[in-house]
Amino acid sequence: MRKNSSFFHLFLSLALLLGQAKPDPDPLQDYCIADTITPGSFYFNGAPCINPKHALPSHFTTSVLSKPGNTKANPFGFNVTLTNTLNLPGLNTLGLTMARVDIAANGLVPPHLHPRASEVTTCLKGLLLVGFVDTSNRVFTQQLRPGESFVFPKSLIHFLYNYDSRAPAVALSGLSSQNPGAQIVSLATFTSNPPIDNEILMKGFQITDRDVARIRKNLGG
């Protein structure tokens, strides 16, 4: 009897703990096509839906991922093109985002995290070195060839590097939120607005005032 009840308690605590890790809320209808005519007219968790009677196949389709992004627009040599409620209104409330990641030869998607989503990435073209760091500071890395996939757990710092010095790489990612969010670690710390006090960065990274200035400048801050 006692054994049973402690087992029950363990089961209950586990269930409660697991219940804390929630994905985007479940939709209450088949779909909720985002109203793209008046976006941002009021704030809402997600986007308001159009009348389902006006739903069209085109609301569920997009060609944004067919075009490569410009990898020269930043010093790292990458570009991410995302689906969202404006270019793919049919994914509103479904808890999904797709991303096309273009990486120039030896380009890098620098260490970053998505506060609201796990990510599974598939290498479509080129040679990738991907990895993430867990909360015990352990690194998991892998080389990916076309057709191979890797998963980055929610909120953990990860990167994608094109280790081929001659050819560009392309990856396709799926993220488990319609609004995954992204924070690039170097930019968030050194080019925030307003800037983080130099004293904090000097102590935090064990560097000098001059180093802080140089890193800020290199990152375009």
Ligand X SMILES: *[C@@H]1O[C@H](CO)[C@@H](O)[C@H](O)[C@H]1NC(C)=O
- When the beta carbons of 95 and 126 are compared against ligand X, the nearer one is 126
- When the beta carbons of 108 and 202 are compared against ligand X, the nearer one is 108
23 CA to centre of own chain = 14
Contact 176, 154 (CB under 8 A): yes
Contact 105, 78 (CB under 8 A): no
* Both structure tokens of 212: 């802080």
Contact 108, 159 (CB under 8 A): yes
Nearest distance, CB of residue 67 and ligand X, angstroms:
8
Residue 213 φ/ψ, nearest 5 degrees: -60, -45
Closest among 144, 154, 149 to 173, alpha carbons compared = 149
Nearest distance, CB of residue 101 and ligand X, angstroms:
11
Which residues have C-beta within 8 Å of that of residue 94, sequence separation ≥ 6?
24, 27, 31, 178
- When the beta carbons of 84 and 149 are compared against ligand X, the nearer one is 84
Can you give the binding site for ligand X, defined by CB under 6 A? Answer: 69-70, 73-74, 79
Nearest distance, CB of residue 37 and ligand X, angstroms:
24
Nearest distance, CB of residue 72 and ligand X, angstroms:
8
Which residues have C-beta within 8 Å of that of residue 179, sequence separation ≥ 6?
84, 97, 116
- When the beta carbons of 23 and 75 are compared against ligand X, the nearer one is 75
The residue nearest ligand X at its CB is 73
* Both structure tokens of 213: 């200035």
Nearest distance, CB of residue 120 and ligand X, angstroms:
21
- When the beta carbons of 74 and 176 are compared against ligand X, the nearer one is 74
